[in-house]
């Protein structure tokens, strides 16, 4: 082969190579940390909106540690005050004052009704539950295709549209294994919470399974805070108010 032919072959190979490949796993890990610190506390309002326009609101105090420990305390309305939910990996419990020991609940149930289920309310890191199958560039965003690590995860698949500049989600579609849409999450109103935390303050969701219904989560406060492991135990659930 002549020198000129070698040059032509080399150039054709260079042109065929992509400029770079998106590391979807690294991007997902960064998105997790941008959404929440490794250990934090937050105050959230959850609003369920019915087709008639009727609303029901809940206020939650939530703390999280590591990849898979999270607990929430209901502080409003008065009828729910003192209730708490605990999640350790895929195991979840509900504590109701004066009822006795905590009871087991599942990820697809909802302790508040509405479109958000328990897995949405007690959200773990996405990297704890999902593997990235592929990543595609979509203009100013990256589209991540996620597959659940096991059958206990609430959704078999996720499609996450993430803003490349801030590495934050803008929309997430929750799907079955057969790619049937269960619900869509919309992330809005990016807010600076201080301490280096800048993330969407509002998450809205709707679902083709709950036509006309909508649920909204609004973050009123979010900050880094360290907790002992005992906070995330069944025996501590009645004492969560002491953390506030």
Please state the domain extents for the chain. 17-243
CB distance 175 to 153 below 8 Å: no
Task: Evaluate if residue 13 carries a pLDDT over 70.
Answer: no
CB distance 24 to 134 below 8 Å: yes
Match 């809205």 to its residue by tokens.
204
CB distance 219 to 190 below 8 Å: no
CA proximity to 41, closest of 193, 181, 157: 193
CB distance 145 to 162 below 8 Å: no
The CATH T-level fold of domain 17-243 is outer membrane lipoprotein receptor (LolB), chain A (2.50.20)
Whole-number percent of the chain with pLDDT over 90:
84
Q: Output the CA angle 76-79-80, nearest 5 degrees.
A: 55
**pLDDT by residue (tens digit) across 27-80?**
999 999 999 999 999 999 999 999 999 999 999 999 999 989 999 999 999 999
What number of CA atoms fall less than 13 Å from residue 21's CA on the CB side? 6
Mean pLDDT for the stretch of residues 137-165: 94
**pLDDT by residue (tens digit) across 96-130?**
998 878 999 998 899 999 999 999 999 999 999 99
CB distance 94 to 112 below 8 Å: no
> What is the SS3 assignment for 76?
strand
Q: 51: which DSSP letter?
A: T
The predicted pLDDT at position 20 comes to 52
What are the phi and psi torsion angles at 20 (to 5°)? -165, 160
């Amino acid at each position: 082969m002549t020198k000129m032919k070698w040059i032509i072959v080399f150039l054709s190979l260079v042109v065929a190579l992509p400029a770079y490949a998106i590391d979807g796993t690294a991007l997902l890990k960064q998105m997790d940390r941008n959404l929440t610190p490794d250990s934090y506390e937050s105050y959230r309002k959850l609003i369920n909106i019915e087709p008639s326009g009727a609303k029901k609101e809940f206020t939650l105090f939530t703390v999280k540690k590591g990849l898979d420990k999270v607990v929430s305390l209901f502080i409003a309305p008065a009828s729910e005050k003192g209730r708490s939910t605990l999640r350790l990996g895929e195991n979840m419990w509900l504590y109701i004052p004066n009822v006795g020991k905590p009871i087991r609940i599942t990820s697809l149930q909802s302790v508040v009704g509405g479109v958000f289920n328990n897995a949405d309310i007690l959200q773990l890191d996405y990297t704890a539950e999902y593997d990235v199958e592929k990543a595609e560039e979509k203009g100013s965003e990256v589209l991540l295709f996620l597959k659940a690590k096991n059958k206990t995860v609430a959704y078999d698949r996720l499609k996450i549209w993430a803003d490349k500049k801030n590495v934050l989600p803008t929309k997430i579609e929750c799907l079955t294994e057969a790619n049937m849409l269960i619900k869509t999450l919309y992330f809005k109103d990016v807010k600076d919470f201080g301490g280096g935390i800048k993330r969407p303050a509002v998450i809205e969701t709707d679902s083709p399974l709950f036509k006309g219904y909508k649920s909204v989560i609004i973050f009123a406060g979010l900050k880094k805070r360290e907790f002992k492991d005992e906070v995330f135990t069944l025996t501590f659930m009645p004492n969560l108010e002491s953390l506030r």
